[in-house]
Amino acid sequence: MIKAAVLGATGYAGAELVRLLSSHPDVEMTYLASHSYAGKKFSDIYPGLRSVVDIVLSEDDINAAADAADVVFLALPAGLAAKTVTAGILAKTKIIDLGADFRLHDKNVYEQWYKKEHNAEDLLKEAVYGLPEIHRKDIAGKRLVANPGCYTTCSILTLYPLVKNNLIDVDMIVIDAASGTTGAGRGEKVTSLFCEVDESIKAYGVTDHRHTPEIEQELSQAAGHPLLVQFTPHLVPMNRGILATCYAKLKDGVEEIDVEKAYSMYEGEKFIRLVPTPPETRYVKGSNTVDIGYRIDPRTRNIVAMGALDNLVKGAAGQAVQNMNILFSLDEAEGLSVSSASTY
């Protein structure tokens, strides 16, 4: 059995991770931590897991977690992982960070977008970007995995085949994305209150959302040269889900058969479905699946590529479990659902 620890276990992503790990056949949770609820049972905070996960929550102590577990999941605010993960910790356990501290390869880019000093620059070269469908071979055998963000996972996977195969003008990529409110975390914020969110939709982080450089980093690697994207996220009144609608100009001579061939790279991927109709978040809710579809507009020669996922599963906790499975040479789908939790 793999012994697992979760720091930040009572946030939305952390709690979803605990739920998934509780039914994983090869995992025993040995350490759950929450700064806000230390001393209480996890099931007191999330009664849906009563008699399933009754572990008493500890303080967020990465040293204690590393001593108790083969893998430690960090579901912490930006900046904390870089302060606590060290070479000594990695000598004792594997780390899967659900935060942003090890996603960006360049310390200066991180500090520019997150407005925080990065305290573990020496570990950035060791960290691998944990998007299995693209970096599966790089993830295997590593000690430090940077679990991608929800907007980024959806946007990158939706656009990657087009960029990798040089089918679009990469100087004109626009990503219009929407997220459910759990993406803002469980902390108390006026802007996340029901009355502030219900019956409304708004753009936020316009031109400066922190996921922008993450998308650019991965798509630049696919293109073989630096590129920029115009990324605008929106908050919509639903609990879960990401929908990314991506616009780009097809290069001269590119036909639909070329696009179809490019997306065939995902054939055989357990958690990517190429769908004939525009993706909807309700059909991926509760699953680790990304639905991807596209339309080519013959009038404008634009392609509209669309992706949908559950921000708490494939966009966070599910992808973290997928990465754990790779690290420990398990079936990648172990403990994860490929179908929606709902049929409507």
Where are the alpha helices (H) located in the chain, listed in sequence order?
Answer: 12-22, 42-45, 62-68, 80-84, 87-90, 107-114, 132-139, 150-164, 194-197, 212-223, 256-263, 318-327
| C-alpha–C-alpha distance, residues 10 and 317, integer Å | 12
Percent helix, strand and coil across the chain, each rounded to 5?
35, 20, 45
- Asked if 123 and 143 touch (Cβ cutoff 8 Å), the reply is no
Closest CA to 62 of 83, 38, 37: 83
Q: How far is the first Cα of the chain from the last one, in angstroms, to the nearest whole number?
A: 36
- Asked if 76 and 99 touch (Cβ cutoff 8 Å), the reply is yes
- Asked if 100 and 13 touch (Cβ cutoff 8 Å), the reply is no
The single residue of 150, 154, 195, 246 carrying the catalytic annotation is 150
| C-alpha–C-alpha distance, residues 5 and 28, integer Å | 9
Helix count and strand count (H, E) for the chain: 12, 13
Whether 246 is a known active-site residue: answer: no
Distances (CA, A) of 260 to 28, 95, 245, 255, 276: 42, 37, 18, 9, 11
Residue with tokens 């606590």: 84
Task: For 83-102, give the DSSP string.
Answer: HH--HHHHTT-EEEE-SSTT
Q: Classify residue 269 by its DSSP letter.
A: -
* Residue 2 φ/ψ, nearest 5 degrees: -85, 125
For helices 150-164 and 132-139, the axis angle rounded to 10 degrees is 90
Hey, which residues are catalytic here? 150
